[in-house]
């Protein structure tokens, strides 16, 4: 086949035409050079410039300069993280300057750090910022609940109790004895009480996670730092805003207990029956009897702000009224806040005054854990009240008390008044220097009262009325006594904190070098336990309750001792020097180094001072030449840090001191009262130290479509403070606080955000965060001089019926904190009796097996994965937000189900439906074992909010937003208890035992009005 041939000379004509066309195209292209600056005139580095028609792109330089070729009449698109995108039409100009406006939606790119602020893009440490619109919605009284699922690595667990704060653990437990909660800083005030801030007043929350970010707070930062910034006034006319909501809560989960017919059928199948004293023909739901049908809650926030050229102001008042689902539980709180800023001396000086006052009344369900326990075990065949209106009681059954009467005949109330005030002076000096003096004062007044009326005194004198404490390292039940003719307890205490912080900042840019240096001094004085407590009994009337102790007459009751409480006043002081250097070269190579020297009176006289250094490095790789033309990468930064922080929280004025008390002993065949040592002093007690290594990467991809960060960390705590029991021949009193042990946390965190769809009418924004942490106790050796260690400490002693001395958890080398350690269940023997595996591998069902020698590991309460997933959809003025969170891989010890499996007493105590296949003769089935260690994983559809924005053209109302929120829509779990979100704070995480305050589902309606 012949090929296609061109006429002679045609190829020369075509080549000439192609060259001519190319010259014409090039003639239409224009090379544009210029500089990109922000709205303050500063250069914007690494700007992405794209030609709209061809998608050809280039990246600007570190100094904001750029050069790009584009056809005349085309459009150049300038974009950079933190700025609004700008389009410029290519004209005849060859040199243009472009100004990018700050994107209001990205103001959070400036994060608050200790003693200053920093740009997120030049940050070299691990910090997560949460904006107000991303906080959890609802009638929420606790900041912990606002942050649930929003910050990778922040494990928050909460119950339905309106008076109990959420347990907050950041990157795993750092110590055994400390509270393990992060350290809060509000508007620069360290250690501020977070309950002084209403959710509507929050402008931003910055969570400092690695030691490079937290070491500047040294002695209090081992468990992380949470910086809270409140809203400030702005220049201009006064703006008034109102946000109000009302909600109704109902129980979302409950115990699976047998009802009347089920219990009778079970007993009949096992050849037994109820006594006539208990079978009154009722079918009572005792859990429902102690609950409200629906708990109402409301929240109202009114704020006003504004200002002139020199002064701005912001003020707000917040009212919260939140009923708990259990009878009598309730929180009523008012928060008032005012903030003033004033410029003076030609704007060289700025004075800031912030004052907030939180006044709350917490009504608790009296003896709450006892009430929950009694409601669970009470027989459904018995009524709440007898026909004559009196409470049904059967005192022939040991430890059996009507839970409704426990509530109705007692009070448990606490009033808190928290005042937080700060005055900040900031003076701008020559040479880029700024001097700050921060003064703050916090005072907490607590007034508490309990009253148990004559019904208690007359009916609950049994020696079998025990307390039901929460699981802890050292907890055991105690017999409760209610005196004669009612008993009252009244206490009033004050705690106060004074802070002085002064620091000098040097902020200077010299060519391509940027320097920010801080040096400062801090002084803090804490006074705690200033007050008193007393009790009385033998009241003439129950009418006054705890309001007037003078109406009682304890002298007329033989053997009654006044309860003066155990709180003792104390004073602690902290003195610190600190310094930090931030250095940047071309906004590309970043260095931060800090050191803090802390002194505290909490520790022994030989070790009161500690040093806490940190260093971090970051490399903004996107600004390197080899990545400038990689268009799908908008930003890429590598981070590495190492630092040490300390822990002084959870320890008081007398932790390192020798303590004496009154002691009775026999001398010459008679009891003699004397003063003796109960705790030895330790002059060598020193700081707990937590060292953290962190590697991270921050990225922005595909024209900022996907933004995220990945962090890997290794956190190690050494010198953990523990109270050791030792021989009194070595340690006076047989007890001493000392340093010992080592704990490790290793993990990885991922955060992703994206806006896959965004146009004029519709947008979809999604965020996902994942975190995995592995906790391990490395060793628990005690101080050598005391010849002690605490390895293999059995704790979380429940003391349930038939379980005296049984424990659930073990503190030991190589295991995570809270490791479950119990019997191994081996099914039933031929007679239907539960049996267990002994240490030697044999199986037994007699009492010889129920010893700690046969305990073995049964799983960890520490979750393997935490996640939060948020999706926000907006269509015109309508928006929908769905938030899902969960934890995976953790175990829960369902001790509640174990105690409700006591089938042997099913004729006098109700049992769980899960025990229906156990024989009545099985006396072992309630023994704590891995049978009751359950999978605690869950996925919770936590929040659904639908809102509509109404824009008004009015002289009085600027906008209205109406919204509806449903909290706790549904939970996916295999856990058999009330709810898998059990307490994860403290030293006894993951134990569910009669402290299962019911979780609730809330439906809420609200409105926001801007005037």
End-to-end CA distance of the chain: 85
* Same domain (yes/no): 366, 457: yes
Nearest alpha carbon to residue 193 among 362, 323, 439, 359: 359
The structure tokens 């999978």 sit at 935
- pLDDT at position 22 over 50: no
- pLDDT at position 841 over 90: yes
- The region of weakest confidence among 48-52, 168-172, 819-823 is 48-52
Q: Is residue 11 part of a domain?
A: no
Nearest alpha carbon to residue 545 among 676, 472, 449: 449
**pLDDT computed for residue 4 by the predictor:** 41
pLDDT band at 121 (very low <50, low <70, confident <90, very high): confident
Tell me the mean pLDDT in the region 756-779.
Answer: 94
Q: Is residue 12 part of a domain?
A: no
* Same domain (yes/no): 541, 442: yes
Tell me the mean pLDDT in the region 71-75.
Answer: 87
Tell me the mean pLDDT in the region 406-420.
Answer: 97
- pLDDT at position 201 over 70: yes
* Same domain (yes/no): 603, 557: no
Task: Tell me if 751 sits within 8 A of 771, measured CB to CB.
Answer: no
For residue 155, list its beta bridge partners.
169
- Of 51, 79, 100, the one marking the end of a domain is 100
**pLDDT computed for residue 108 by the predictor:** 43
887 compared with 797, residue with greater pLDDT? 887
Query: If 0-12 CB within 10 Å is exposed, 13-18 middle and 19+ buried, where does residue 983 land?
Result: buried
- The region of weakest confidence among 25-39, 201-215, 463-477 is 25-39
Q: Is residue 284 part of a domain?
A: no
Cα angle: 208, vertex 214, 216; to 5 degrees? 140
Distance separating alpha carbons of residues 301 and 1010, to the nearest angstrom? 12
* Same domain (yes/no): 913, 994: yes
Tell me the three state secondary structure of residue 978. Answer: coil
* Same domain (yes/no): 391, 538: yes
pLDDT band at 54 (very low <50, low <70, confident <90, very high): confident
- Of 536, 568, 600, the one marking the end of a domain is 568
Q: Is residue 269 part of a domain?
A: no
pLDDT band at 178 (very low <50, low <70, confident <90, very high): low
* Same domain (yes/no): 528, 386: yes
**pLDDT computed for residue 621 by the predictor:** 92
Query: What is the CA 776 to chain-centroid distance, rounded?
Result: 21
**pLDDT computed for residue 228 by the predictor:** 93
What's the token pair of residue 223?
């468990």
- The region of weakest confidence among 40-44, 429-433, 565-569, 933-937 is 40-44
Nearest alpha carbon to residue 58 among 68, 45, 44: 68
Q: Is residue 221 part of a domain?
A: yes
* Same domain (yes/no): 95, 112: no
Tell me the mean pLDDT in the region 552-571.
Answer: 92
Q: Is residue 263 part of a domain?
A: no
* Same domain (yes/no): 819, 845: yes
What's the token pair of residue 788?
């002690």
Tell me the mean pLDDT in the region 954-975.
Answer: 93
**pLDDT computed for residue 955 by the predictor:** 80
Summarised one tens digit per residue, pLDDT across range 222-263 is 888 999 999 999 888 899 999 999 999 999 999 999 999 999
* Same domain (yes/no): 42, 113: no
- The region of weakest confidence among 328-332, 461-465, 710-714, 915-919 is 461-465
Task: Tell me if 324 sits within 8 A of 164, measured CB to CB.
Answer: no
Q: Choose the most confident range, by mean pLDDT, from 217-221, 296-300, 657-661, 797-801.
A: 296-300
> What CATH number should be reported for the domain holding residue 72?
2.60.40.1120
Summarised one tens digit per residue, pLDDT across range 260-309 is 999 999 999 999 999 999 999 999 999 999 999 999 999 999 999 999 98
What range defines the domain where residue 65 resides? 29-100
Q: Is residue 424 part of a domain?
A: yes
Question: What is the overall mean pLDDT for the chain?
Answer: 90
**pLDDT computed for residue 103 by the predictor:** 66
Query: What is the CA 709 to chain-centroid distance, rounded?
Result: 21
Nearest alpha carbon to residue 951 among 882, 872, 878: 878
Q: Is residue 258 part of a domain?
A: no
DSSP track, 687-714: -EEEEEEEEEEEEEETTTTEEEEEEEEE
Distance separating alpha carbons of residues 285 and 897, to the nearest angstrom? 17
* Same domain (yes/no): 821, 770: no
Query: If 0-12 CB within 10 Å is exposed, 13-18 middle and 19+ buried, where does residue 721 land?
Result: buried
Distance separating alpha carbons of residues 659 and 733, to the nearest angstrom? 9
Q: For residue 540, report the phi and psi dihedrals to the nearest 5 degrees.
A: -70, -25
* Same domain (yes/no): 857, 952: yes
- What total number of domains does the chain contain? 4
Task: Tell me if 180 sits within 8 A of 171, measured CB to CB.
Answer: no
* Same domain (yes/no): 558, 599: no
Distance separating alpha carbons of residues 77 and 66, to the nearest angstrom? 13
**pLDDT computed for residue 81 by the predictor:** 65
What's the token pair of residue 199?
């959710």
Distance separating alpha carbons of residues 828 and 835, to the nearest angstrom? 6
């Amino acid at each position: 086949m012949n090929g296609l041939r061109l006429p002679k000379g045609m190829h020369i004509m075509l080549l000439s035409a192609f060259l001519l066309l190319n010259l014409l195209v090039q003639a239409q292209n224009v090379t544009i050079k210029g500089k990109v600056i922000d709205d303050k005139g500063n250069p914007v580095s690494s700007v992405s410039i794209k030609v709209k028609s061809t998608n050809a792109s280039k990246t600007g330089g570190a100094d904001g300069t750029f050069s790009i070729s584009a056809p005349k009449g085309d459009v150049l698109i300038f974009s950079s993280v933190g700025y609004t995108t700008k389009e410029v039409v290519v004209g005849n100009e060859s040199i243009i300057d472009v100004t990018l406006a700050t994107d209001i939606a990205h103001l959070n790119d400036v994060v608050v750090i200790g003693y200053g602020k920093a740009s997120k893009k030049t940050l070299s440490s691990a910090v997560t910022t949460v904006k107000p619109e991303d906080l959890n919605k609802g009638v929420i009284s606790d900041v912990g609940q606002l942050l649930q699922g929003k910050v990778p690595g922040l494990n928050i667990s909460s119950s339905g109790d309106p008076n109990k704060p959420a347990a907050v653990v950041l990157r795993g437990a750092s110590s055994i004895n400390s509270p393990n909660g992060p350290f809060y800083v509000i508007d620069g005030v360290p250690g501020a009480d977070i309950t002084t801030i209403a959710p509507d007043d929050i402008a931003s929350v910055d969570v400092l996670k690695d030691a490079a970010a937290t070491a500047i707070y040294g002695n209090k930062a081992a468990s992380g730092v949470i910086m809270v910034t409140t809203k400030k006034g702005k220049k201009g006319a006064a703006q008034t805003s109102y946000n109000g909501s009302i909600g109704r809560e109902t129980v979302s989960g409950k115990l699976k207990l047998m009802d009347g017919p089920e219990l009778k059928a079970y007993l009949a199948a096992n050849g037994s029956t109820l006594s006539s004293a208990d079978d009154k023909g009722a079918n009572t739901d005792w859990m429902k009897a102690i609950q409200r049908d629906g708990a109402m809650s409301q929240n109202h926030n009114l704020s006003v702000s504004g200002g002139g050229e020199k002064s701005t102001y912001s003020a707000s008042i917040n009212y919260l009224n939140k009923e708990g689902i259990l009878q009598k539980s309730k929180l009523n709180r008012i928060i008032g806040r005012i903030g003033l800023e004033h410029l003076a001396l030609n704007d060289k000086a700025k004075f800031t005054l912030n004052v907030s006052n939180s006044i709350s009344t917490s009504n608790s369900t009296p003896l709450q854990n006892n009430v929950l326990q009694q409601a669970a075990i009470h027989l459904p065949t018995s009524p709440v009240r007898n026909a004559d209106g009196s409470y049904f009681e059967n005192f022939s059954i040991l430890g059996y008390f009507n839970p409704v009467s426990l509530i109705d005949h007692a009070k448990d109330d606490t009033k808190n008044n928290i005042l937080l005030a700060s005055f900040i002076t900031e003076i701008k000096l020559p040479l880029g220097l700024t001097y700050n003096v921060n003064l703050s004062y916090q005072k907490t007044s607590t007034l508490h009262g309990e009253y148990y009326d004559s019904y208690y005194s007359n009916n609950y004198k049994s020696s079998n009325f025990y307390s039901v404490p929460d699981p802890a390292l050292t907890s055991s039940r105690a017999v409760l006594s209610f005196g004669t003719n009612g008993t009252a307890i009244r206490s009033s205490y004050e705690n106060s904190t004074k802070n002085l912080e002064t620091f000098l900042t040097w902020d200077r840019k010299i060519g391509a070098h940027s320097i920010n240096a801080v040096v400062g001094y801090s002084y803090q004085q804490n006074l705690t336990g200033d007050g008193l407590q007393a009790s009385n009994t033998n009241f003439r009337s129950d009418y006054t309750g705890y309001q007037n102790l003078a109406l009682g007459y304890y002298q007329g009751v033989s053997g009654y001792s006044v309860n003066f409480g155990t709180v003792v006043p104390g004073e602690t002081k902290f003195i610190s020097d600190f310094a930090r250097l931030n250095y940047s070269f071309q906004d590309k190579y970043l260095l931060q180094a800090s050191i803090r020297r802390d002194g505290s009176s909490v520790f022994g006289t030989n070790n009161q001072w500690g040093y806490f250094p940190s260093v971090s490095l970051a490399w903004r790789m996107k600004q390197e030449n080899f990545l400038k033309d990689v268009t799908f990468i908008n930003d890429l930064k590598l981070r590495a840090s190492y630092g040490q922080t300390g822990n002084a929280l959870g320890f008081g004025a007398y932790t390192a001191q020798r303590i004496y008390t009154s002691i009775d002993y026999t001398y010459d065949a008679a009891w003699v009262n004397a003063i003796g040592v109960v705790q030895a002093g330790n002059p060598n007690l020193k700081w707990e130290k937590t060292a953290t290594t962190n590697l991270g990467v921050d990225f922005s991809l595909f024209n900022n479509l996907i933004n995220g960060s990945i962090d890997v960390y290794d956190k190690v705590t050494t010198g953990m403070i523990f109270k050791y029991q030792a021989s009194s021949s070595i340690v006076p009193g047989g007890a001493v606080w000392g340093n010992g042990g080592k704990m490790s946390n290793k993990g990885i965190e991922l955060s992703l955000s994206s806006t896959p769809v965004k146009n004029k009418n519709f947008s979809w924004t999604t965020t996902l965060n994942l975190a995995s942490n592995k906790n391990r106790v490395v060793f628990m050796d005690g101080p050598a001089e005391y010849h002690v260690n605490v390895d293999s400490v059995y704790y979380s002693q429940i003391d349930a019926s038939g379980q005296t001395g049984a424990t659930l958890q073990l503190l030991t080398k190589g295991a995570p904190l809270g490791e479950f350690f119990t019997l191994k269940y081996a099914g039933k023997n031929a007679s239907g009796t539960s049996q267990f595996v002994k240490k030697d591998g044999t199986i037994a069902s007699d009492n010889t097996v129920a010893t700690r020698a046969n305990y073995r590991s049964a799983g960890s309460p520490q979750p393997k994965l935490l996640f939060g997933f948020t999706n926000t959809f907006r269509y015109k003025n309508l928006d929908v937000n769905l938030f899902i969170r969960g934890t995976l891989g953790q175990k829960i010890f369902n001790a509640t189900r174990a105690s409700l499996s006591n089938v042997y007493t099913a004729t006098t105590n109700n049992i769980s439906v899960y025990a229906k296949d156990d024989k009545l003769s099985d006396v072992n089935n309630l023994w704590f074992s891995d049978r009751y260690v359950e999978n605690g994983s869950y996925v919770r559809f936590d929040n659904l909010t639908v809102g509509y924005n109404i824009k008004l053209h009015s002289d009085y109302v600027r906008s209205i937003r109406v919204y509806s929120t449903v909290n706790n829509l549904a939970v996916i779990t295999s856990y058999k208890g009330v709810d898998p979100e059990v307490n994860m704070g403290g030293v006894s995480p993951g134990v569910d035992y009669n402290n299962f305050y019911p979780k609730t589902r809330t439906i809420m309606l609200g409105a926001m009005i801007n005037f």
